[in-house]
Structure 1
Amino acid sequence: MWRVKSLDAILATAQKKSLHRSLGAFQLTLLGVGAIIGTGIFVLTAAASQKAGPGMMISFVIAGAVCAVAALCYSELASMAPVSGSAYTYTYAVMGELLAWMVGWALILEYAVAASAVSVGWSGYVLGLIENALHFDWPDMLQAGPAWTMNGFVPTPDFSAGVVNIPAIVVALAVTMLLMIGTTESARVNALLVVVKVAALTVFVVLTLPILQTGNFSPFAPNGWFGPENTTGMGIVGAAASIFFAYVGFDAVSTAAEETKNPQRNVPIGLIGSLAICTVFYLMVAVGAVGAIGAQPVVGADGSAVQPGSAAFIAACQLAENADRLVCSNEALAHVLREINFPAVGNALGIAAMLALPSVILMMIYGQTRIFFVMARDGLLPEAFSRVHPKWKTPHIVTLFTGVAVAIAAALFPVGQLADISNSGTLFAFFMVSLAVLMLRVKDPKRHRPFRMPLVWIIAPISAAGCAFLFWNLPFDAKMVLPIWGGIGLVVYLLYGIRKSHVGRGMFDVPELDPDAPPGPVPPMPGAPSPTDDGRGHH
């Protein structure tokens, strides 16, 4: 269970097939901004308001700070091993197979559940456009999944607010089909979508800041820092744990380390620069939304604080006096613009979100299939997951499997709960990466690090503690998903992965293949050196 897959084996292909270093700090920063801005700011602003009220502005800063230190840890490992597999690959090289499996299993919560959350966010904006621009009343039962409550450890659905989210299913399956047949977004289209997203947020800020009313900022923290007594995941810190979802995507910068000129300088500039730009944007959007129409949370029938997406929250939002509240909107930013008499601009922002968010879904599902693909190629999952379609040249089986799972989750769960569940997997993976950086500094201090993190014995522990702190402040049901999901994963590993592992069977696969190339392990001669070994242990 503790066997490692050496960095030398992982790096063999990267050394043979090095990429051209062409990216500078500016390009990396734009790459990060494009990857980060997505459902978090367009949709979760409402959920954060319900948890923290106007205090969600501090929540954005807390989440951004934790992301910044985690990003530095991620970058050192990504620059050393710029290959597929993300935190799973790094953990395999440092901590061994069992923990690598648990990280890979947790990354399913990050990528697949995040794709579901973005699908639900996209659905909210599309339905808002249909109802406000086309004046068509979409059936309530088909625009949202049920509200879920925990009856002990058993999730119980409440179908009073909805049964199934049809638009979320449509977009998830449409993106899955695109990925299966090999249609990928070009750099030009992606750059255009970045411009669309940034322009939409800029217009929102320009229209809302001049009319803000200071009275809307009071009370600033109606639920305090940690929420009322006997509640979890509420208050400013609870909102920070949820809004962490708005920053996920910065790892696109760290995984581009191999293509970066002077990575020691440009990778941290790209990471911290993109996080800083997005944090400032998010703060201005939050100030604009709060100042324009207010962001006070709704309360349950008994006057108590209620979680966004819960049955009590949905009941409160169905009351006539709460219908226009920011916290009750499924398309928060477009809703604000309509409330301040810019309905046409609100519809235009809805169109911008509708165009831009599918690219985020595509990136999330693609990332998930790559994790599955690498785990299957290591023998820890069935080989069918690493099969490549003869015509489309894509891992079609795992893509279809992932897409259907994403569509089911999007159909049945609200965006806030999906984001919190996704965060639980992400925070666990980032926590393990923070530890891996320290362990590798001890185990292999002389290895070349294209990006060497400064103050590693201060920043990495802060990163690990920050991830643990945010995880602890997630809602109870989101926290419980991770150990239950991890327990299921452990059973799968003990029944299948531990016996089928290629490393355990002495088989070393090429660690980084294009999806176009059919995977296949190559058994080496017993005791043979790695392909780049010069016979003295040097590479």
Structure 2
Amino acid sequence: MIDWLGALLRLRVNGYPDIMILDRVKPLDAILAAASKKSLKRTMSGFQLMLFGIGCIIGTGIFVLTAAGAQKAGPGLMLAFAIAGVICIVAALCYAEIASTVPVSGSAYTYTYATMGEFLAWTVGWALVLEYAIAASAVSVGWSGYFVGTILNETFGIHLPAWLSGGPLALGGVEGGFINLPALVIALLVTWLLMIGTSESAKFNAVLVTIKVTALTIFIALTLPQVDAEKFNPFLPAGLFGGFGSGVGAVGAAATIFFAYVGFDAVSTAAEETKDPQRNVPIGLVGSLLFCTVFYIAVAAGAIGTIGGQPIMGPGGIPFPAGSEELARQCALPQFSAALVCSDEALAHVLRQIGWSGVGNALGYAAFLALPSVILVLLFAQTRIFFVMSRDGLLPEVLSRVHPKWHTPYIVTIATGAVVAVAAAFLPVGQLADIANAGTLYAFAMVAIAVLVLRRQRPEIPRPFKVRGVWFVAPAAVAGCVFLFLNLPFEAMMVLPVWSVIGLVLYFAYSRSRSHLGRGIVEVVDDIEGDEDLVPIKPPEA
């Protein structure tokens, strides 16, 4: 299926003559054998895994990005949720099949390694590093908005100086901003929690998911009865398509809102730490996505139908970009101070505007308590991607070192948390979400291709969850991901190729020559302390 592509990509690399870029496909049997001898303990049930996905999906996308989405699409935000949801469903079906077939850590990285080879697996893993780290930063910024607005301002009457509560205006932050201190602190605190153990983190997450679902149910119950149909007119003030690279319109909003659905991908990265993954991973993936999509659309309808959600227009009738310096200046004007698109705590703000200030503050408390669970899930997934790539020899082996007491990859967790905290301190949530989506969409498209390749290569492998009509579903997932990528803001689109070039330099300068598979060995981890059996295999043919 991919032989013709491999033939076109013959290069001379690192002194080896005539090496095919797509030469190193990790034996699937070896991956499954390694999965039975893990260094990470299986602690999560199917129900915990579903809560794990809900914990990531219900978060910044609905508590925070509602405002950014409304600025891009106006009332068309509801359509944007539907577009993103449909694309997520077809992608989730592909994830469910391959995650139940290959139940190991590494998510799209491992699936690509077992089907299309090391080179493409590296590009996917590198994109996932970008996705999870930037996404965790975005959620940290979203949490900061509720902490400053609800906890400090509304509850205690404390007004944190602008220079401590937002990034620089030149980077899309706030007027007078220098550093988002609350975002920095919460990212570091969650990093510490994740470092002390997966089981403890999952239990903590389950409590916070309950809080979030309860808060959003109350929001829906209070807002839907007060919906005014006139608030949805015009429904598409920026049109359906804003144009290539514009990031506006309903489709542009869908490209941003897609950020809120990355939870089902994080579920698959936890397969290696899940009891009975053949049964529980599909439940966690599909169940969490379907549950959350209903909430997304209902909450968006309640928010826009009560106080309105028309974008603030710039020159030529085009909305000011979300997270831009121009929009920040407009939101500082008195006539826009109460607008949904200007709020850093969108849902709490809606309830205050319709006379439910006390409940609005309570929802702010719920977001304050619950959004850290989203950061936790994203950091969890990111560190596990690093862990598996390190275990394969593509990254320094120190990154796969496991703590003797906590049984977690503590070194990579600390390093990742530090990077996430710094990004959260200086960048706005809208820009972070768009950047994260670029990596997300690439990884999702590669998973859909991997499903097709595995069906062709290994049709005999048991598939506890099998997608019906995969020859339509998988290409639809790829097309949907490409479609949304092309509707991201141009600056966000360019981040992925730049990041990829950096990754390719690292791969050819370091990773390819140190790859365990390239050296003719497959690493099997026997226990949590990191003892290894290095199993010789036939070196890949050039």
- TM-score when scaled to structure 1? 0.89
- The equivalences for 1:343-492 within 5 A come to 343-492=357-506
> 129, 136, 159: which is aligned to 1:137?
159
- The equivalences for 1:131-280 within 5 A come to 131-147=153-169, 160-182=175-197, 185=200, 187-227=202-242, 232-251=246-265, 254=268, 259=275, 263=279, 271-280=285-294
Q: Give the C-alpha shift of residue 245 in structure 1.
A: 1.2
- Give the corresponding residue for 2:136: 115
Distance 1:438 1:302, change over 3 A: closer
Tell me the distance in 2 between the aligned counterparts of 1:394 and 1:22.
15
Q: Give the C-alpha shift of residue 13 in structure 1.
A: 3.2
**What letter is aligned with 1:166?**
L
Distance 1:14 1:380, change over 3 A: closer
Decide whether the 8 Å contact of 2:105 with 2:384 is kept in 1: yes
Decide whether the 8 Å contact of 2:49 with 2:267 is kept in 1: yes
Tell me the distance in 2 between the aligned counterparts of 1:328 and 1:455.
43
- Give the corresponding residue for 2:74: 53
**What letter is aligned with 1:221?**
L
Question: CA-to-partner distance for each residue in 1:30-51, whole Å, 9 max, x for gaps?
Answer: 5543442111111100000000
Q: Give the C-alpha shift of residue 16 in structure 1.
A: 5.7
Distance 1:54 1:89, change over 3 A: same
Distance 1:392 1:187, change over 3 A: closer
Distance 1:173 1:77, change over 3 A: same
Q: Give the C-alpha shift of residue 192 in structure 1.
A: 2.3
Decide whether the 8 Å contact of 2:44 with 2:202 is kept in 1: no
- Give the corresponding residue for 1:536: none
Tell me the distance in 2 between the aligned counterparts of 1:492 and 1:297.
42
Aligned partner of residue 523 in structure 2, secondary structure: coil
Query: Which is worse superposed, 244-253 or 499-508?
Result: 244-253
Q: Give the C-alpha shift of residue 297 in structure 1.
A: 0.6
**What letter is aligned with 1:80?**
T
Q: Give the C-alpha shift of residue 231 in structure 1.
A: 6.1
Distance 1:113 1:231, change over 3 A: closer
Question: CA-to-partner distance for each residue in 1:306-358, whole Å, 9 max, x for gaps?
Answer: 11101111111111100000000011000111111211111111111111111
Distance 1:175 1:54, change over 3 A: same
- Give the corresponding residue for 1:69: 90
Tell me the distance in 2 between the aligned counterparts of 1:53 and 1:477.
22
Q: Give the C-alpha shift of residue 367 in structure 1.
A: 1.2
Could you tell me which runs of 5 or more consecutive residues in structure 2 were left unpaired when the two chains were aligned: 1-20
Decide whether the 8 Å contact of 1:169 with 1:410 is kept in 2: yes
Q: Give the C-alpha shift of residue 261 in structure 1.
A: 8.9
Distance 1:526 1:37, change over 3 A: closer
**What letter is aligned with 2:529?**
P
Could you tell me which runs of 5 or more consecutive residues in structure 1 were left unpaired when the two chains were aligned: 149-155, 529-539
Decide whether the 8 Å contact of 1:165 with 1:411 is kept in 2: yes
Q: Give the C-alpha shift of residue 275 in structure 1.
A: 2.4
Query: Which is worse superposed, 138-147 or 177-186?
Result: 177-186
**What letter is aligned with 1:179?**
L
Query: Which is worse superposed, 120-129 or 242-251?
Result: 242-251
Question: CA-to-partner distance for each residue in 1:484-514, whole Å, 9 max, x for gaps?
Answer: 0000000011110011111111221126x77
Tell me the distance in 2 between the aligned counterparts of 1:23 and 1:403.
26
Tell me the distance in 2 between the aligned counterparts of 1:374 and 1:481.
24
Q: Give the C-alpha shift of residue 226 in structure 1.
A: 1.3
**What letter is aligned with 1:453?**
V
Instruction: Kindly report the root-mean-square deviation, in angstroms, between the aligned alpha carbons of the 2 structures.
Output: 2.6
Aligned partner of residue 103 in structure 2, secondary structure: coil
Q: Give the C-alpha shift of residue 451 in structure 1.
A: 1.5
Decide whether the 8 Å contact of 1:238 with 1:470 is kept in 2: yes
Q: Give the C-alpha shift of residue 96 in structure 1.
A: 0.7
Decide whether the 8 Å contact of 1:21 with 1:261 is kept in 2: no
Tell me the distance in 2 between the aligned counterparts of 1:273 and 1:396.
30
Question: CA-to-partner distance for each residue in 1:96-129, whole Å, 9 max, x for gaps?
Answer: 1111010000001221111101100100000012
Decide whether the 8 Å contact of 2:133 with 2:382 is kept in 1: yes
**What letter is aligned with 1:328?**
C
Distance 1:162 1:367, change over 3 A: same
The size of the alignment, in residue pairs, is: 514
Aligned partner of residue 505 in structure 1, secondary structure: coil
- Give the corresponding residue for 1:152: none
Tell me the distance in 2 between the aligned counterparts of 1:159 and 1:29.
37
Distance 1:188 1:411, change over 3 A: closer
Decide whether the 8 Å contact of 1:434 with 1:460 is kept in 2: yes
Distance 1:27 1:164, change over 3 A: closer
Tell me the distance in 1 between the aligned counterparts of 2:523 and 2:502.
26
Q: Give the C-alpha shift of residue 525 in structure 1.
A: 4.7
Q: Give the C-alpha shift of residue 256 in structure 1.
A: 5.1
Decide whether the 8 Å contact of 2:92 with 2:285 is kept in 1: yes
Decide whether the 8 Å contact of 1:387 with 1:519 is kept in 2: yes
> 57, 75, 89: which is aligned to 2:110?
89
Aligned partner of residue 508 in structure 1, secondary structure: strand
Decide whether the 8 Å contact of 1:4 with 1:92 is kept in 2: yes
Distance 1:134 1:217, change over 3 A: same
Question: CA-to-partner distance for each residue in 1:397-453, whole Å, 9 max, x for gaps?
Answer: 211110110011101111111111111111100000011111111112222222111
> Percent identical across equivalent pairs?
59
Matched, 1:124 2:145: yes
Matched, 1:524 2:535: yes
Matched, 1:338 2:352: yes
Decide whether the 8 Å contact of 1:250 with 1:275 is kept in 2: yes
Distance 1:267 1:392, change over 3 A: closer
Q: Give the C-alpha shift of residue 195 in structure 1.
A: 1.6
Tell me the distance in 2 between the aligned counterparts of 1:78 and 1:231.
33
Query: Which is worse superposed, 250-259 or 459-468?
Result: 250-259
Decide whether the 8 Å contact of 1:299 with 1:316 is kept in 2: no
